[in-house]
Structure 1
Amino acid sequence: MKRYINILLLVLAIVVAACSGDEHKHAEGTTYTCPMHPQIVQNEPGTCPICGMDLVPQNAHSEGIEITEDLAFLLKPTNTTVVASIATTKPEHKSVQATINMEGIISYDPNRVYTIPARVAGRIESLQVKFNFQPVRKGQKLMEIYSPDLITAQRELIYLVRAAPEDKQLIEAAKQKLRLQGATDAQINQLVRTGKESYTFAIYSPYDGYVIGLNTTAPTASAAPTMAAAPAASGMDGMGSGATTTPAVPQPTASAGSEIQLREGMYVSTGQALLQVVNPNQLWAEFNVAAAAANALTKGAPLQVTFPQVTDKQVQAKIDLLQPFYQAGENFAKVRVYLPGEQKAAMVGQLVNGKVNYSTEPSLWIPKAAVLDVGASAIVFQKVKGGFEPIAIQVGTTENNQIQVLDGLQQTNVIATNAQFLVDSESFIRVKK
């Protein structure tokens, strides 16, 4: 009986040892995870470092979360693959009729802006030009000027005509001197006919147009003219040569800005700009075109000009100049066209619109909705095994809800038709390098 009891105790001890070994082996193979954050996995019990919840066993026989195949797929990082059941499309290789719309302004043609300078030094005695944009015509009197140099030149011619009428060459030289000082042939002929010099000399406009850049405001005391000595007429010898001295003539100072200081009583010096005249028979229309579309334009291409204020008015023109460089800080080029001045709708300073139609070079085109603009780059979602992944592309022009692809796609690629469906709240767009 005692022997039987010993054998029973030995069997019981073996069973207990075996159970204890199985339990310890199972505990060593168990992992623990957080019910709220399944990405937290540890080999021993504890708390979640994110939310502080107790970790639970992670296996098929525990009360924790079982990571099945479907759940593992959904837990993949969204910046690698975005899963959605949406329509797809392929890029099309074709040429598209495109339109470039531009905004511009009408301005002067600088080649038709003329400056009338003072041919001689003197003082303005009377001024017929009073305000900006005053119309003037060719041959119209602009002002009368008193000039000692002109008086001297007139006396020389009168003396030669009286003393040596047979010396045609010397008389012609005296006339040419007056012409270079701004005298017209009519004034010279009158001088020869009357034999009396004029103390004020009229200056006539050699151009038709409008006066611009005229500033008749009196200068401040700091801008007062300074006096400088210059030769003046006194006596002449028989050949018209003789030492001459003139009264001091004030030298003008530069006026503020680009406008011309002009008023009666002021002194002018030789070569000083008196006023500017612009001829409006030829005007410019200058447009700004985006850098991406500038390459599609060429000189001589037809351009349609419309006026926002007159909806039924259109002018057909051709591109005369495409600016070959960009101004500092600008991301657009300038396009210039000439407009005929007889167009009543075209006025300097007026805003206009321009439109150019052209055919693009054959390239890949995709729906505009398939492109996601993220600021620094354009993104499309290419279909891959199990979902979509974002890739960066280089885009060109946009036309009729389609956008041109310059680089980054091939015609065989399959992409999502609407990229907005793949946007989530995790800022997932990390383009594959």
Structure 2
Amino acid sequence: MPRRAESPVLPPAPGALPGLGHVLPLLRAPLPFITSLSSLGDVVKVRIAHMPAYVVTDPELVRRVLVSSDHDFTQGRVYEKLAQFLGEGVGTTSGRKHRRLRRLIQPAFHRDRIAEYADTMRAAAESTIADWRPGQEISVDSAMNDMALTAVTACLFATEMTPQAAAEFRESILTLFHGAVLRTLLPTAWEKLPTPGNRRYRRAITVANRVIDETITTYRAPGQRRNDMLTLLLDSRDDDGDALTDQQIRDQVITFLFAGVETTGATVAWALHEVGRHPEAEKRLHEELDTVLGGRPPTWQDLCALPYTSRVVTETLRLHAPWLILRRTLHPVRLGDVTLPEGAEVVYSPYALQRDPRHFADPELFDPDRWLPERDGAGPRGAFVPFGAGVHKCIGDAFALTEITIALAVICSRWRMRARTDVPVREVAAATTHPKGLTMTAEPRFP
């Protein structure tokens, strides 16, 4: 029997520095760096300090990692870092534990529940724009993050926090968001240093946990029944009749907040930015909203009648996707011509995949109509994965799409957002890619 050919040895991508590897380009210019790797091969080796990682740039191989061979992988380095404050949330666990948590949590994201959340999402969007004035300059990135935090918090907790607790909670969650990716790239030893950022990060974990624990205690009091996500988590039981512990519930709440605030807020902000600088897209969006809604607030039932709005959201998700997702091999795994060792960190980038000209025509162009059925613009399987795929696909994808679409409908029904040409917008890679410095001028659409 002929011997099987050995897997070729992958040299690291160019630009690695002694002791640091590719940490500097990942910190200084992460998006240009990650998108450049597809020209080097289907699997590209990089180094994060002394740790090798393998970036998968081919959509079919990405789909194998996420779907057909998902049993060969577990969550990677980033999720170990996130577990410092996400605990054993559905986003950080793998295997049997992940499957159990997903089954217990799924009722909170049932279609009927999301339909009920839609009114809360609309109220959060309306509250956000209630104080806008004609000609006012809006810090859109900040405003949309605040809106998303208001919406997801209201869906989680029907009861209102005290103003002080709400302010502390909001600040702690945002601090955790901003520190998450940095801790993924830097050595573990750095986290132990008494830097101001590390102290803020640890204090944020303490505050967030305390506020959630106090809320759970309140909900467990006799006679306390509410129609919200936290109540569903408290009531959920597995096949053996076992419930989630208070710590497991807290971990899910933190996970929902982490996944549902910055990503959703950034997507709405990017959608406003793209519509604001593409007059034809703005015109068609406004026409659809005026025709379908006629000046009234959007409802869950309206969403299926807003196809162009939906395509705007989908195209925004394509252009401004998460930039770095990791998995880890459980044993040697062959991907294409390369055999990865056990324990290898495997990276894929929705951002890079969805801007690859091999899969999307004119990938830098904002073109909602590429998602028309007759255009078949979704690319090959595995090329469009803003929410992931397979067993670890984001459990809240329908929740997020509903919130983004409703927020965009509420805002664009009433306001025309004008970009400030003198203020550059930076695309920053954090937990997702978000628009730093996005300031727009609000103009009322109707007197």
Bigger radius of gyration among the two: 1
TM over 0.5: no
**TM-score, scaled to structure 1:** 0.16
The structure with the largest strand share of the pair is: 1
* Higher relative contact order, chain-length normalized (CA < 8 Å, sep 6+): 2
The structure with the largest helix share of the pair is: 2
